[in-house]
Amino acid sequence: MIRRLLPILASIVTLACSQRTAPRVPPGATVQPLPQDTHPPADPPATVNNQLTVMAGDTFGITLRGNLTTGYHWGLADSLDAKVVTLVRHAYVPYPNPQHAAGSGGTDHWTFRAVAAGRAEIALGHYPPGRGQPAQLLRYTVTVR
């Protein structure tokens, strides 16, 4: 009897596993797809340019999404002009994760000090595991007054 039911059960399991349904989203919530990491990147590194204006003596921050569990990390891509801007602190902070789910990600917090009037560039690269070139490059032109 079991031998006759086994092919039928296998067909039912295969059919059930192949059915994909959209995840249920609570009312008022939104779903955003997560970026897919490629290794190596399919396209040349993307570059984003940003402008910041700060006063001499001020500290300012840049916060970026990250996920150290993927092996990718944010890092300074170029040296800073220490006469204009210095790095005060860099910290990665994981998202709250009470279920201890793997791969939940977090944020990279970069804190800088505007030393003196001038213009400097901060280049932050998003580096794939084991690669010397960033997959993404963010440039911030900082004008210190």
Confidence category of residue 55, pLDDT binned at 50, 70, 90: very high
In this predicted model, which residue has the larger pLDDT, 42 or 77?
Answer: 77
Residue 117 lies in a domain: yes
CB 85 within 8 A of CB 31: no
Distance CA(112)–CA(122), nearest Å, equals: 10
- Whichever domain contains 65, its CATH number is 2.60.40.2020
Mean pLDDT of 13-32: 38
* pLDDT of the residue at 99: 77
Provide the residue range defining the domain that includes 115: 45-96+106-145
Confidence category of residue 34, pLDDT binned at 50, 70, 90: very low
Residue 18 lies in a domain: no
CB 134 within 8 A of CB 45: yes
Residue 16 lies in a domain: no
Q: How many domains does the chain have?
A: 1
Amino acid at 94: P
Mean pLDDT of 115-131: 95
Confidence category of residue 120, pLDDT binned at 50, 70, 90: very high
pLDDT at 10 exceeding the cut of 50: no
Given the DSSP bridges, would you call strands 106-114 and 85-94 parallel, antiparallel or unpaired?
antiparallel
pLDDT at 13 exceeding the cut of 90: no
Residue 138 lies in a domain: yes
- Three-state DSSP at 39 gives coil
Residue 15 lies in a domain: no
